[in-house]
Structure 1
Amino acid sequence: MLFAHDTECGLVAAAALVNTAGPDREGLPDVAALDEFFTAYGWTGRHEHTEAELREVRALRPRLRQIWYADTDEVVAVVNGLLRESHALPQLVRHDDEPYHLHAVPRDAPLATRMAVEAAMALADLVRMDELSRLRRCDHPDCENVLVDLSKNRSRRFCDAGCGNRAAVSAYRARKAASHS
């Protein structure tokens, strides 16, 4: 583990949330999809299962996406804005058999607020450690997904949507075609 557990979870969840939106896809089409996302990324606390909550979570995605395209000062501005707007007050908490970790808003805060603050807190750690280079965009030319490179050797190039496999297959086919010509 390169960072604190809650930092890594916050970063991975933020990237996954960003990747639910694309020019030709909606990864959170309905409340049921948000419910699945909530469970898959280990969110706890308040979850209203409403269209309004879904709209609030979707509205967070463009703000988080811009972080993957920003320089350090722009990232800091977004992070500080998210923390300020959410009235974040970091505190150590323990729940659900997890060790002590930071929460900066109450568990009964709206889900989109908690998502914003968790992402902001995790990103603040990256800024403080001068590790923003771990925020990457997928190297596959047909993909607009983002990723967090948590590998020790900083070698991750592709998102979790199968782009690494597609790139390997394309390279294999290109080598095969070159050897037959």
Structure 2
Amino acid sequence: MLFAHDTECGLIAAAGLVNTADGDQEGLPDVAALDEFFTAHGWTGRHEHTEAELRSVRELRPRLRRIWHADTDGVVTIVNGLLRESNALPQLIRHDDEPYHLHAVPRDAPLATRMAVEAAMAVADLVRAGELSRLRICDHPDCDNVLVDLSKNRSRRFCDAGCGNRAAVTAYRARKAAAHS
């Protein structure tokens, strides 16, 4: 299934944001880290560079994480809540040399609001396409990061934190040990 560019970007950014809350390791420790996240995920529009904005973005993460653990009805409840609370009104927009795509809140809305709505709109596309199974938890036993499987054959199992490499090394070592026994 081919998803619209803004859907894929919204899903990847949502997973990336969720994964910044990693138990002991804070992935958004300060405003500078939020600035880097903002740039890395191609966000545009209002960005205040404040502690208050950072707190708002951090507060969004647990709510988005629940999407990866909910059944379809639960996902719909979360998505509808995010859209309703943000007074989302989808409109086609073109900016920054990007083709037309959907924005559901103004570009000057608070960053956390825009992140919530972009994630909700992207997940809504997955629900409509019957593709929620593309939202997964990393298969590595020591990882609870989330991921979005956008591969054609739906085969992605590991997050972007190097878990696939760790699993391959573990399997290799197990094969070597078995061969020497």
How does the TM-score come out when normalised to structure 1? 0.99
Identical positions, percent: 88
Aligned residue type for 1:130? G
Distance of 2:46 and 2:150 partners within structure 1: 29
Alignment of 1:3-152 (within 5 A): 3-152=3-152
**What secondary structure sits across from 2:102 in the alignment?**
strand
What per-residue deviation string (whole Å, max 9, x for no partner) do you get for residues 115-168 of structure 1?
000000000000000000000000000001000000000000000000000000
SS of the equivalent of 2:151 reads coil
Off by >4 Å, runs of 4+ in structure 1: none
Separation (CA, whole Å) in 2 of partners of 1:63 and 1:2: 26
Q: Secondary structure at the match of 1:68?
A: helix
Residue by residue over 1:105-124, the C-alpha shift from the partner in whole angstroms, topping out at 9 and shown as x without a partner, is 00000000000000000000
Question: Could you tell me the TM-score, scaled by structure 2's length?
Answer: 0.99
Counting matched residue pairs gives 181
Matching residue of 2:168: 168
Q: Cα distance, 1:2 vs. partner? A: 1.6
How large is the RMSD of aligned CA atoms in angstroms? 0.6
**TM-superposed deviation, 1:22:** 1.6
Hey, what's the Cα distance between the residues in 1 that align with 2:40 and 2:67? Answer: 23
The Cα shift of 1:46 comes to 0.1
- In structure 1, runs of 5+ residues without a counterpart are none
* Counterparts of 1:91 and 1:129, CA distance in 2: 20
- Report the AA paired with residue 132 of structure 1: L
- SS at structure 1 position matched to 2:127: helix
